[in-house]
Amino acid sequence: MPDQPRPPGPARWIQRASDTILGFERLLLGALMLLLTLLVLLNVATRYSGVPIYWIDEASVYTMVWLAFIGASVMTRLRLDFAVGLLTDKLSARGARIARICATSGVLVFGCAMLAMCWLWMDPPGIIRYGFDAREYAAESFNFLYTERTQTLGWPTWLLQSVLPIFSFGLSLHALANLMEDLALVPRRAYPEFPVTTPEMVN
């Protein structure tokens, strides 16, 4: 029996890199869901006892924001993102495959565009050029990202908003891995560690 051809190296590396990031995202999702649960329970307990902790609400909001963005990146890789099948249901198998490739390419372009915007917005070379002096950098660039702090936690805003470049990178990598599978350069991966309730959830 002839040996099965091995997938191309770069496509296989992209798929493995996506799987590695997905593993980290899975752990982060679990930690964020646990943190959110504890924050909500603590908020209920302290308010009921008459000694509410004022920063819990803000912490819960930022936890939900991180949970939403990381979850969206995971859903992209698992192909659990929303899809409208009005057109593809009427197409042939080849037409549906082409439409799927175009849709995945659109997600990849969007992720790369977000990465570029995050680079311009956070401007790592700029803040490094000013020796990480946020005030000097803000005075010259009028970019106050590194001087702002949250209202109750008092944490640096840039630290919490770093979820945007993290999400953009994960989204781009997962979209690229999905595109490699849609182009049949690598076999499509299954993820039993991420069970879904119905097959209809997977597009």
Contact 96, 84 (CB under 8 A): no
Span 182-197, mean pLDDT? 80
**Distance of alpha carbon 35 from alpha carbon 202, whole angstroms:** 28
| 8 CB-near residues (< 8 Å, 6+ apart) | 185, 186
Q: How far apart are the first and last CA of the chain?
A: 34
Classify burial at 125, counting beta carbons within 10 Å of its beta carbon; exposed 0-12, middle 13-18, buried 19 or more: exposed
pLDDT tens digits, one per residue of 80-110: 877 666 677 777 888 888 888 999 999 999 9
The pair of structure tokens assigned to 75 is 């859903």
The pTM of the full predicted model, rounded to 2 decimals, is 0.86
**Is a pLDDT exceeding 50 seen at residue 182?**
yes
pLDDT tens digits, one per residue of 13-29: 999 999 999 999 999 99
